[in-house]
Amino acid sequence: MWIPDSIYRKLPAIYAAAGLALIPAFGRNGPSVVSAVLLMGAGGLTALWRFKHRQAPEQPALTPKQEWEQRRAKRDQTLPTQ
């Protein structure tokens, strides 16, 4: 499914606004409050996931081969030589 970029960027705010609009539209009954909370939660989670996804990784992930070589070098340094 394709969504225009202008709408895609505003989705978290749209979710939250729709959640807030449910309460005055349908009153404070159980289903409308639950739906409002879920929509606001979806907006919050979407914003959080986008924020985390755009952050640079703290350190590059090692491949299994690189990790093995790193452990081997560390082990060779700590073992006594004969």
Angle (CA) 31-33-35 rounded to 5° is 65
Percentage with pLDDT > 70 across the chain: 95
* Percentage above 90 pLDDT, the chain: 54
Range of the domain at 74: 5-78
Q: Give the DSSP letter string of 10-78.
A: HHHHHHHHHHHHHHHHH-S-HHHHHHHHHHHHHHHHHHHHHHHHHSPPSSPPPPHHHHHHHHHHHHHHH
pTM of the model: 0.62
pLDDT, average across residues 45-51: 93
Q: How many CB atoms lie within 10 A of CB 22?
A: 21
Q: What is the pLDDT of residues 4-42, one digit of tens each?
A: 889 989 999 999 999 999 999 999 999 999 999 999 999
Q: What is the pLDDT of residue 61?
A: 78
Number of folded domains that form the chain: 1
